[in-house]
Structure 1
Amino acid sequence: MTPLHAPLHSNASGLRAAPSGRDPARHPGDPLAIALVSEHASPLATLGGVDAGGQNVHVAQLAGALADRGHRVTVYTRRDDAALPESVPLRPGVMVHHVPAGPAEQLPKDELLPYMRPFARYLADRWREDRPDVVHSHFWMSGLAGLWATEGTGTPFLHTYHALGTVKRRHQGAADTSPPTRVAHETEVGLGCDRVVATCRDEVEELAAMGIPRAKADIVPCGVDPAAFRPDGPAAPRGPLRYRLLHLGRLVPRKGAAVSIAALGRLPHTELVIAGGPPPSAMDADPEVRRLRALAEEAGVADRVRFTGAVPPAAVPGLMRSADLVLCPADYEPFGIVPLEAMACGRPLVASAVGGQLDTVAHGVNGLLVPPGSPPLLAAAVRLLLADPALRAEYGRAGRRRVLERYSWQRVAGATEESYRAVLAAHAPMAGAA
């Protein structure tokens, strides 16, 4: 078996040679052929599962926004179902390509590392015939595949982590199921790529602590579609209680649903909707749902907590609009798409002061930040906003403005393209010399 660290290309120098297929006279503004590598997070996946969340949305929306800018985008993701065709058009200008790497079945992402070598080999073989102008990988295992597949070819290679093993290990300790080599591989990718496209300031500092220079990173946040997520439009039906709080996201412990439930005991006349997780038909069998239900019973709030299960993407904006406040009390959050969706819908936030939420939630402007893991402080912030409808409305308007100014996918794609162009420009002398 080929060891994980063995090169796919024979290039004794180890330098990124200029690929023969690229025209060194390319005009700086020409459309690009862009390869997005997202090994476990398919843009076609149903959201809400343990391994299907913000990264899937990010890759799908970034691909579409890049295509809107005239580029040709191919998303490479692992085939996890034998019935999937090789390629599926996602929308005009975007193709999703299913890579045969490992068994054609759904596997937890933490079990996919052994299949990244065949994933990379497949990419390298395919790209010999149809080489992209830029490769942009998403998540650390995709980064390994992208790094190995482009090694020695001169193909510009950028990487977005979406989450870091050092942070996960710090917070989860022995409960962290990541492969033990994750941090070492993340460092390898960060040092080996041309550019890191980080999503927030906190990530850049975490990378610096790993030995990846701050100057190697561009900060380009995640985005949201302000046309789909907007303040006006139908809202989901509400119950008889005066206030509604919404906690939306994957049902994994780090997202803090237990904190939201504990805070609810201090908030009378209020219901808590917990959206996400498995399909409604599978809720009773889900261990995390059972744990959270038990916590709600112990706290005496089970009659005021409603679990929806997985929510179709088209229904999320209406659910957002039905809430008085959106809660994001994660223990840690590499970036967090939910705050952007709430802001775009004009809903104020109470969020933990961690990760990307330190960038998206401006304390006292569009929401309130509280320390993670503190139900009393979460409840106090919620009480403050529930008692002041005018302040909630002001925060909601500010959040919408902030989204339009900073977080539309058009702006995100434009900033991402700037990173691509900078790396291409740095490669141009090498291509000309070849």
Structure 2
Amino acid sequence: MDATHPLHPRPIRVAMLARAVFPLHGFGGIERHVYHLTKYLTKLGVEVTLYVQTPPANAERGDLRPHAIETLRYDYTTPLLPPNGVVGRQINFPVYSWRIGHLAAQCVLAGAFDVVHTQGLCAFGYAMARRRDPRLHSTPFVANPHGMEEFRTPDRAKWLAYAPFRLLYAYGHRQADRAIATDACTKDDLPRYLGVDPAKVVVIPSAIDVEECLSQVRSDLRAALRFRLGLTSGGPMLLSVGRLEPNKGFDVLIAALARLRNELPANWRWLLVGSGSAREALEQQVRAAGIADHTLFVGRLSDEELHSLYEEIDLFVHPTRYEGSSLVTLEAMIHRRPVVASAIGGIPDKVFPGRNGLLVQPGDVDDLTAQLRAALAARARWPEWGVEGERIVRSTFDWPVVARQTLALYHELLAGNHTSHPARSG
């Protein structure tokens, strides 16, 4: 499939509206999603124009090569409020979304684009422009809400503070011609949380760049990490990766490991990669649980260090309380590592019990203890589980595959199928 417009002999032209993109604005999941989607659509011949916030003066562009980049100011609160704090974000992001949506709308009316594709809350601004000018309805509008943290947080204070965000999210995505669910098992969340017509929901997974991940493994880094982290004991090496925040469930894993410490081999280790506000509390819990000698808080790692570390561990454990698609789970799988992870968000579309790992009820210490015990008892099958995990990623969650699915959606919409139709499963 190529990117030729079905009605005109030229490539499809897409306005991609986002707040941030890797590497200009950081290393987060959505930033990487926008980067890889742009990269692989461009490889398919799509002309992608990125609309993003103005990057820092010293930002690195890397190999980001869209057709064009349009930037707009994001921070309207500094120095009064942190720009991405709970309050600052609720001021800055809606204003930014409104302005960038109307900027893109002007270009659509000038005939510059064939498709508008928004990421996260950027749907709100373009939806408002579209409502005000019916001429914009002739150009397909695709929206991806991503993980919808504002709807899932267990923190009551955050949940209340994000009430305005939830209204804007819901409004923006209801106006789109298609709203993307990033996993089949979460497609019902868009009608449930956002009020999106189920017939407008299409499943296109979030993905990782398989070749990019594997190319970052370096033998010298593996050796350095083995020495630095003491990975020469021969016992099972468990790894978790994520922000050190309550929603990631690392406190639940500590409690489970404490129960298993007398059943585990003497030289077992648990490595926790990441940083965040809960680090001190987790360190205190580890000491109180009596597993401090087996636990290492690694802190943040570079991409090359992390992908090299995946090659040195035996089992990946992701005990999150809530989650979007969980790219770190895919990363562990492409390195052929078995996975024990919470059955939440998009994880059940990736981890299949007895095939490439085991699933756990989120926040349940008893279940996590039982599933870790079962995984350890099945250690002889870990290589087999690893091979199956790699197969799942390459067939479904690799960016070249997902970019082709996205392009197919553009073709479908441009062929005139703006009307609702049954949700697809992939």
Give the residue type in structure 2 aligned to 1:345.
Answer: H
Alpha-carbon distance between aligned partners in 2 of 1:244 and 1:185, rounded to the nearest angstrom: 44
Structure 1: runs of 5+ lacking an equivalent: 1-22, 48-52, 278-285, 430-434
Q: What is the CA-CA distance between 1:98 and the residue it aligns to? A: 2.7
Alpha-carbon distance between aligned partners in 2 of 1:393 and 1:37, rounded to the nearest angstrom: 41
Structure 2 residue aligned with 1:221, among 198, 201, 205?
A: 205
**Which deviates further from its counterpart, 149-158 or 228-237?**
228-237
Which residue of the partner structure matches residue 43 of structure 2? 68
Is 1:99 aligned to residue 72 of structure 2?
Answer: yes
Conserved in 1, the CA contact under 8 Å of 2:188 and 2:198? Answer: yes
Cα distance change of structure 1 residues 92 and 104 upon mapping to structure 2, 3 Å threshold: farther
Give the residue type in structure 2 aligned to 1:71.
Answer: V
Give the residue type in structure 1 aligned to 2:104.
Answer: L
Which residue of the partner structure matches residue 140 of structure 2? 156
Percent of residue pairs bearing the same amino acid type: 27
Name the SS for the 2:147 alignment partner: coil
Give the residue type in structure 2 aligned to 1:99.
Answer: L
Is 1:204 aligned to residue 187 of structure 2?
Answer: yes
Q: What is the CA-CA distance between 1:80 and the residue it aligns to? A: 5.7
Which residue of the partner structure matches residue 33 of structure 1? 13
Alpha-carbon distance between aligned partners in 2 of 1:271 and 1:131, rounded to the nearest angstrom: 55
Correspondence list, 1:114-153, <5 A = 114-115=94-95, 116-125=97-106, 131-139=112-120, 141-151=121-131, 152=133, 153=136
Is 1:347 aligned to residue 347 of structure 2?
Answer: no
Structure 1 residue aligned with 2:239, among 239, 246, 250?
A: 246
Name the SS for the 2:186 alignment partner: helix
Give the residue type in structure 1 aligned to 2:372.
Answer: V
Is 1:57 aligned to residue 32 of structure 2?
Answer: yes
Cα distance change of structure 1 residues 191 and 259 upon mapping to structure 2, 3 Å threshold: same
Alpha-carbon distance between aligned partners in 2 of 1:178 and 1:40, rounded to the nearest angstrom: 22
Alpha-carbon distance between aligned partners in 2 of 1:354 and 1:343, rounded to the nearest angstrom: 17
Task: Provide Cα deviations, 1:46-89, integer angstroms capped at 9, x if missing partner.
Answer: 33xxxxx22122111111111111112232222264x268x957
Which residue of the partner structure matches residue 108 of structure 1? 84
Which residue of the partner structure matches residue 172 of structure 2? 189
> Aligned Cα RMSD in Å?
2.9
Task: Provide Cα deviations, 1:174-227, integer angstroms capped at 9, x if missing partner.
Answer: 343653222222221222011011111233212222432222111011112222
Matched residues, number: 388
Which residue of the partner structure matches residue 394 of structure 1? 384
Name the SS for the 2:100 alignment partner: helix
Q: What is the CA-CA distance between 1:95 and the residue it aligns to? A: 4.6
Give the residue type in structure 2 aligned to 1:369.
Answer: L
Conserved in 1, the CA contact under 8 Å of 2:181 and 2:204? Answer: yes
Conserved in 2, the CA contact under 8 Å of 1:99 and 1:122? Answer: no
Give the residue type in structure 1 aligned to 2:247.
Answer: R
Is 1:375 aligned to residue 365 of structure 2?
Answer: yes
Q: What is the CA-CA distance between 1:315 and the residue it aligns to? A: 2.2
Give the residue type in structure 2 aligned to 1:120.
Answer: G
Give the residue type in structure 1 aligned to 2:251.
Answer: A
Cα distance change of structure 1 residues 145 and 348 upon mapping to structure 2, 3 Å threshold: same
Q: TM-score, normalised by structure 2?
A: 0.82
Cα distance change of structure 1 residues 84 and 229 upon mapping to structure 2, 3 Å threshold: closer
Which residue of the partner structure matches residue 12 of structure 1? none
Name the SS for the 1:70 alignment partner: coil
Name the SS for the 2:187 alignment partner: helix
Alpha-carbon distance between aligned partners in 1 of 2:293 and 2:109, rounded to the nearest angstrom: 60
Which residue of the partner structure matches residue 363 of structure 1? 353
Alpha-carbon distance between aligned partners in 1 of 2:199 and 2:49, rounded to the nearest angstrom: 28
Conserved in 2, the CA contact under 8 Å of 1:74 and 1:94? Answer: yes
Alpha-carbon distance between aligned partners in 1 of 2:116 and 2:199, rounded to the nearest angstrom: 20
Which residue of the partner structure matches residue 262 of structure 1? 255
Is 1:173 aligned to residue 156 of structure 2?
Answer: yes
Structure 2: runs of 5+ lacking an equivalent: 420-426
